[in-house]
């Protein structure tokens, strides 16, 4: 969950510990999360996209369905 000051209700508990994420950590995570599995479907929506982002996607698709690219 993400807390946004002034938006999310309640008072967050901010941990005192700091975690440093390096570029290697990010690259390792990307490699771990990306495999050769076939994608069955993609779901785009709340809470992952804002209304503006949804509008942009809808405008890009313009009522068309997306298709799986050969790969």
64: left (phi over 0), alpha (psi -120 to 50) or beta: beta
Terminal-residue alpha carbon distance, the chain: 34
pLDDT in tens, 23-69: 999 999 988 988 777 777 777 877 778 889 989 988 988 878 777 66
Is there a cis peptide before residue 7, judged by omega within 30 degrees of 0? no
Is the predicted pLDDT of residue 10 greater than 60, yes or no?
yes
Task: Measure Cα distances from 66 to 39, 60, 61, 69, 70 in Å.
Answer: 13, 10, 8, 9, 13
**Per-residue tokens: 24:** 């290697």
The pLDDT of residue 34 is 84
This prediction's pTM: 0.38
């Amino acid at each position: 969950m993400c807390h946004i000051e002034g938006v999310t209700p309640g008072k967050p508990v901010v941990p005192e510990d700091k975690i440093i994420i390096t570029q290697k950590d990010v690259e390792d995570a990307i490699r771990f999360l990306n495999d050769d599995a076939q994608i069955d479907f993609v779901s785009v929506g709340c809470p992952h996209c804002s209304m503006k982002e949804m509008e942009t996607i809808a405008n890009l698709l313009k009522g068309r369905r997306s298709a799986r690219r050969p790969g």
